[in-house]
Amino acid sequence: MRLLFKERMFSWFDSYDIYEESGAVAYTVRGQLSWGHCLKIFDAFGNEIATVKERILTFLPKFELYLGDRYAGCVSKEFSFFTPRYNIDCKGWRVQGNFLEWDYQIVDAHGGFIAAISKQLFNWTDTYVIDVPNPQNALYALMLVLAIDAEKCSRRN
């Protein structure tokens, strides 16, 4: 399964459309007014299905992941000097990638491939391609990509 993750150009808060390979909308993400990032994920029918929420007043950025109202895990930035590193407490997954954070992979605890994320350059807004072989992992992979993108956005500001 391939998802195209495109940030909307004109919106007050973080807002994204996530498309399937066919061009159909798979998910919509809308930022909410809050302290820190709060991203609500909606399915193609407009039902709220997940949330990525930044915890504030932490030494390093931390994002909690929710499926509906149920806690699903968190992504926290680890202290490092040159390459950003993330601790993922979700399904035993981890992130590995390059220095620029444009291309990275999500792998399981045994190194098994979960998803590949690549940033498309030369677009007006942030655009990522998320390749997920198992469609059951698509929503979790999307939540991790949103958390990492929000952390990078916070770092730039």
Query: What end-to-end distance do the CA atoms of the chain give, in Å?
Result: 33
Q: What is the pLDDT of residues 118-155, one digit of tens each?
A: 987 766 667 789 999 999 999 999 999 899 888 876 55
State how far the Cα of 31 lies from the Cα of 38, in Å rounded to an integer: 6
State how far the Cα of 96 lies from the Cα of 112, in Å rounded to an integer: 12
pTM, entire model: 0.85
Q: What angle do CA 82, 106, 101 make, to 5 degrees?
A: 35
State how far the Cα of 16 lies from the Cα of 81, in Å rounded to an integer: 30
State how far the Cα of 27 lies from the Cα of 156, in Å rounded to an integer: 26
